[in-house]
Amino acid sequence: MNAADNTENTPDTRTAIMEATYAALCKHGYANLTMQAIADEFDKTKAVLHYHYDTKEDLLVAFLDYLLDRFLDTLDIETIDDPEERLVALVDALLLGTHEPRSETDHWEYHTALLDIRAQAPHNDAFREQLTTNYRHIEATAAAIIEDGIERGVFREVDPERAATWLFATINGARLHQVTLDESDVAEDVRAAIVEEWLDWLRRPNGE
């Protein structure tokens, strides 16, 4: 491997590729996304992309894995002691992107682009496998918060995994509606329903 190859194999280069993929996917969508479109978003050639990833599919699978890592890195909810506050922070991050430095417009452009990838999952085993991995990891995070709340007497006795599944399905539905319907307040309305009504039900009643 020569010196140029070493330069192209650094963590910074990989991060730059992922960020370029993010930008190109938001700009072009899945159908019009090409390796050249991704290369156009950063200061490397298309050859650098093919050095790391043989196909667009390989790159997008790596991108989905990168999204999970970045989400976990920027979430920063472990310092929140109260289980209810921690759960609300997770909801806000998943639904509104409050953990991200990006703008609200960028947040929904990203979810529109991600919807394109998710639409391929029924016919693409690699996409489906990575999306499932991401889903299970985040669902487990929610379940762990709920279980902690139960053990500390904050939440009522429920099945943590089932409650987390319901919560994540609700959030996913809200994101889908936000990017596919002419309704700009869906995410905020669902967030309010979760925080003001579902969490009120989840709290352990006094004296229970």
CATH topology of domain 55-202: Tetracycline Repressor; domain 2 (1.10.357)
Q: Report pLDDT digits (tens) over 166-183.
A: 999 999 999 889 888 877
Q: The domain 1-52 is classified under which CATH number: 1.10.10, 2.60.40, 3.30.1490, 1.20.1050? A: 1.10.10
Q: In the numeric block, which tokens belong to residue 140?
A: 């487990």
Whether the per-residue pLDDT at 12 is higher than 50: the answer is: yes
Q: Report pLDDT digits (tens) over 186-202.
A: 989 999 999 999 999 99
CA nearest neighbour of 68 among 14, 136, 124, 148: 136
Whether the per-residue pLDDT at 60 is higher than 70: the answer is: yes
Q: Are 146 and 87 a contacting pair, CB within 8 Å?
A: yes
Whether the per-residue pLDDT at 8 is higher than 70: the answer is: no
Share above pLDDT 70 across residues of the chain, in percent, rounded to a whole number? 89
What are the extents of the domains in the chain? 1-52, 55-202
Residue 76 to residues 50, 68, 73, 85, 153: CA-CA distances in angstroms?
34, 13, 7, 12, 24
Whether the per-residue pLDDT at 1 is higher than 60: the answer is: no
Segment 60-87 mean pLDDT: 90
Q: Are 150 and 81 a contacting pair, CB within 8 Å?
A: no
Q: Report pLDDT digits (tens) over 146-164.
A: 999 999 999 999 999 999 9
Place of tokens 């919807």: 115
